[in-house]
Structure 1
Amino acid sequence: MVGLATPAQAATSATATYAKASDWGSGFEGRWTVKNTGTTAISAWTVEWDFPAGTRVTSAWDADVTNTGDHWTAKNKSWAGSLAPGASVTFGFNGTGSGAPSNCKLNGGSCDGGTIPGDNPPSAPGTPTASAIGDTQLTLSWTAATDDKGVKNYDVYRDGTKVATVTGLTHTDTGLTKATDYTYTVQARDSADQLGTQSGALTARTTGKPDAGSKIKMGYFTQWGVYGRNFHVKNLDTSGTAAKLTHINYAFGNVQNGRCTIGDSYADYEKAYTADQSVDGVADTWDQPLRGNFNQLRELKKKHPHLKVLFSFGGWTWSGGFTQAMQNPAQFAESCYNLVEDPRWADVFDGIDLDWEYPNACGLTCDTSGPAVMKNMMQAFRTKFGPNYLLTAAITADASNGGKIDKADYAGAAQYVNWYNVMTYDFFGAWAAQGPTAPHSPLNTYAGIPQEGFNSAAAINKLKAKGIASEKLLLGVGFYGRGWTGVTQATPGGTATGPAQGTYEPGFEDYKVLKNTCPATGTVGGTAYAKCGNNWWSYDTPATLGAKMSWAKSQGLGGSFTWELSGDTANGELMTAMDNGLKP
């Protein structure tokens, strides 16, 4: 990073960051990101740099780029010059040659992070100490850095993210979470905006205990959402959802040849994020060690330190590999540990979730490993991952007599898991093309339900009756609907001709779409349904979710989870209902 600030704008601070976005041998794409890191607005910017002989810009966009010999100048477009504090803008160009930029200036100032001839950067401040530590705040203090021209201010970092810039030697950090560890460093800046070396790190823990009666609020984030759905980790932050979640399950890793494997390397850790798509507003560089969703989750955790992330393996499509893997449970657990704890992203994940659909039963494929296979799997994983690692499993909600819950020893496995994600959704859908129409996620049974035991209460009650503690069960809810077409009957139980049209697949649609295109017209079994034209849909609304959360609390459940987060509205309507409904 080359950071730059103009002496004429002493109240401002800005950086310009260069990245080579791609290189195809005969040419390359370069990108500059200008970011206002100060506290006052910037009205215009000019970036200057030198290329070595033979390297040059051939075309540019989002800035006006000119040159005099090997000296290049980029000026903002009229619409991109104004940058509020914290805002950034990126411009790019195509070039030829193999050289890298040097002697960078922004608005005439020297590079922040380099040195000005005759002006040394500041020394490292003293390692901070913490005092007045409370449940939600603490006060940091440190000894001054030294500089030959004088120290201007200090940047304070919490868990790697800058949280304040101060002129003194103390800072009170607020809005923290009870009983949580935070790591702090401090970095000095001189009058020319040169940054010095960061201080040593301090880790401090806030006081208090987690709120009594606090519940788990987990959501699945799908790796494929970054494609057609254009749903990124940043959306969890901008919607307010991240602040309400306690856990995120990242879906999915694959299970192949007896071991855990990466599901989609591009989405997981290769995709380069632009500044506007990134949680921290900083564009990925071509050579950074980790990109993609994993890096974005890392940045999200820095911004929301209470969040825990689990890597989920399997799912409907990739469950077929569990049968082979469980021929050697210890080796299977070892492979998963090595993948989740890969040094490139070990800090991202706090746990592992095993989504086998279904042990000793049939989903997309069938397994005949026997009832003990679930217990054996979870025991092997707990042995390998240890007592402090989160270990969970998504399990069936089929409570019919002799159904999937009866097929495997979920009770015996429960001693090894932190909790079960009970998939109390997709009970009914347009895979039964002619109907009868029925809500896919009923809380309770109702007159005319197509299959007894296919409702949330029945599943939870059956699992509890087998001896599984209530607090180890999470109630599953869907942020989507399932529907039929060719329906004339408004109430449930009607006939149909097939699945209703959906954006991504027949018979399936996100809540954020259905709330507008097919508003709810009634409720049955504790969930909503809607008749619009000849289509019939069922889905949860904020009102039915609130009622489900109240029921979950009345049953002493550990909390709730959703499949999956991209189906919610841009302002997180359903997540807000879940959060409000689970508050003590």
Structure 2
Amino acid sequence: MLRQNHSPRRLRALLSAVCCAVLGAGLLAGASGASASVSAPPSGTERAAGSRVVGYFTEWGVYDRNYHVKNVETSGSADKLTHINYAFGNVTGGKCAMGDSYADTDKAYTADQAVDGVADTWDQPLRGNFNQLRKLKELHPGLKILWSFGGWTWSGGFGQAAQDPQGFAQSCYDLVEDSRWADVFDGIDIDWEYPGSCGLSCDTSDPAAYKNLMGALRDKFGGDLVTSAIAADATDGGKLDTADYAGAAQYVDWYNPMTYDYFGAWDAQGPTAPHSPLTSYDGIPIEGYSTDATIAKLKGMGVPADKLLLGIGFYGRGWTGVTQDAPGGTATGPAQGTYEQGIDDYKVLKDRCPATGTVAGTAYAHCGNEWWSYDTPETIAGKMDYKDQQGLGGTFLWELSGDTQNGELIDAVR
């Protein structure tokens, strides 16, 4: 969904500018830090939201991050998840393809690394993450797993796939339902960044292409889960306007609008701004870059609320060369991150640069000359209230390795 296949998605071209639908009085307040409660919905809609909790597990996390399927279990996250999106499969030549076969099916796990404490053998038919996910499902029979295709790096093939949606759907079905791991997966997730618009590359598909592709997947996968991560651009003529998301909604079980990465240090000089604001706030650099604007736009397009999940990032984005504590300060460039400049995990930032304030329903932190924004257990609790009041279908998380060892962020989600 966002994301480079080694980091969450970035990019200012994510969104173009203008116009926001604001909830009105009672939304989380401005840069001073205090937040007001979101106004209650009409009687009878409270707690009507779905309880899905979908966590992304990245195949590359088993390398430098040293985050394995076992960590989903030992952190307590598996008890709280309803679904896991395994990211990512590739899209190439108009077809679904394996992403990293070594991580997916070949990597041998020792007993201490394995979910169930049983080491892989050299001659077993399936190893790697797929086998560990199978073991996790055995411990949690209600847990569903979807194979997610595309992402920031591997979305370039969707344009060709959309030229033959039935052929694409058949290739995906054949791969997901391969007899070696068919029992692992309960469906497919599509992360096309972005139909009819630009991400890492630019797509020129017409607005019907996405709807046709999702319809073909639904026809092929039948009653299995079919979901999709989608843009969060609430502006007029922006990324949500370049594909028929409303028309395609009939084919998906739910959408994951990527309500994070609205702002970041790709704008190296700032102004500093929270990457995942729940609402607009006084001084927001671009009106419409907020979760509430995204949800309001999608609902206004006719997408049912219970088919929308609220996106939460388990990471922060930051700048260096900042002297101002409140949002809106100037900067000299991206702050140093563990794996990439301008981004780091919550589990690192909570101690390295603790939160110093809140704005628009999320937290920010000013430490030394660095400025970061990220969600905390407290701000996630506020976002969960919003999710319930809006009647949304649940929550999705990018991505599980950013949480603490004891899963304090996912605790706040549940």
Give the structure-1-normalised TM-score. 0.63
- For 2:303 and 2:322, the matched residues in 1 are separated by 40
C-alpha spacing 1:492/1:213, structure 2 compared with 1 (3 Å): closer
What CA deviation, in whole Å up to 9, does each residue of 1:33-85 have, x standing for no partner? xxxxxxxxxxxxxxxxxxxxxxxxxxxxxxxxxxxxxxxxxxxxxxxxxxxxx
Report the Cα distance in structure 1 between the residues aligned to 2:351 and 2:142, rounded to whole angstroms.
33
Aligned to 1:459: 294
Q: CA deviation at 1:309?
A: 0.1
**Unpaired segments ≥5 residues, structure 2:** 1-46
Partner of 1:120: none
Could you tell me which residue of structure 2 aligns to residue 321 of structure 1? 157
Partner of 1:296: 132
Structure 1 counterpart of 2:166: 330
Structure 1: runs of 5+ lacking an equivalent: 1-210, 580-584
Alignment equivalent of 1:532, drawn from 364, 367, 389: 367
- 2:391 corresponds to: 556
What corresponds to 2:192 in structure 1? Answer: 356
User: Relative contact order, CA 8 A, sep 6+: which one is greater?
Assistant: 2
Report SS of the residue matched to 2:70.
helix
Q: Structure 1 residues 213, 552: CA separation in 2 closer, same or farther (over 3 Å shift)?
A: closer
Q: Deviations over 1:538-579 (max 9, x none)?
A: 000000001001100000000010100000000000000001
Quick check: 1:246 aligned with 2:82? yes
Query: Per the alignment, in what secondary structure is the counterpart of residue 156 of structure 2?
Result: helix
Identify if the C-alpha distance between structure 1 residues 446 and 367 changes in structure 2 by more than 3 Å, giving closer, same or farther: same
Q: Following superposition of structure 1 onto structure 2, how do residues 37-48 of structure 1 map, counting pairs within 5 Å?
A: none
Which position in structure 2 is the counterpart of 1:379? Answer: 215
- Whichever residue aligns with residue 323 of structure 2, its letter is T
State the one-letter code of the partner of 2:61.
G
Residue 448 in structure 1 maps to residue 283 in structure 2: yes
Q: Residues 226-245 of structure 1: matches in 2 within 5 Å?
A: 226-245=62-81
Letter in 2 for 1:263: G
Equivalent position of 2:17 in the other structure: none
In structure 1, C-alpha distance between the alignment counterparts of 2:142 and 2:339, rounded to whole Å: 33
Contact 2:109 2:119 in 1 (8 A): yes
| Between structures 1 and 2, the one with greater helix share | 2
Q: Which amino acid aligns with 1:534?
A: N
Identical counterparts, % of pairs: 72
Matches within 5 A, 1:158-557: 214-386=50-222, 388-557=223-392
Question: Residues 436-478 of structure 1, C-alpha deviation per residue, up to 9 Å, x if partnerless?
Answer: 1000000000011111111000000000000010000001010
Mapped to 1, the partners of 2:308 and 2:294 lie a distance apart of: 10
Q: TM-score, normalised by structure 2?
A: 0.88
2-structure distance, mates of 1:271, 1:475: 33
Kept in 1, the 8 Å contact 2:48–2:391? The answer is: no
After TM superposition, give the deviation of residue 403 of structure 1 in Å. Answer: 0.8
Q: Secondary structure at the match of 1:440?
A: coil
Partner of 2:411, secondary structure, is: helix
Question: Helix, strand or coil for the counterpart of 1:368?
Answer: coil
- Give the superposed CA RMSD: 0.9
**2:3 counterpart residue number:** none
Return the offset for 1:213. Answer: 5.6
Q: Is the 8 A contact 1:429 1:438 kept in 2?
A: yes
3-state SS in 1 of match to 2:112? helix
Task: Write the distance in 1 (CA, Å) between the matches of 2:51 and 2:194.
Answer: 27
Give the 3-state SS of the residue equivalent to 1:306 in structure 2: coil
Secondary structure of 2:152's partner? helix
Taking the aligned partners of 2:375 and 2:265, their CA distance within structure 1 comes to: 17
Q: Which runs of 4+ in 1 moved over 6 A?
A: none
The answer to whether the 8 Å contact 2:214/2:251 transfers is: yes
- Does structure 2 retain, via aligned residues, the 8 Å contact 1:401–1:453? no
Q: Given the superposition, is the C-alpha separation of residues 488 and 245 from structure 1 closer, same or farther in structure 2, using an over 3 Å criterion?
A: same
Match of 2:104, SS state, is helix
Q: Partner letter of residue 170 of structure 2?
A: E
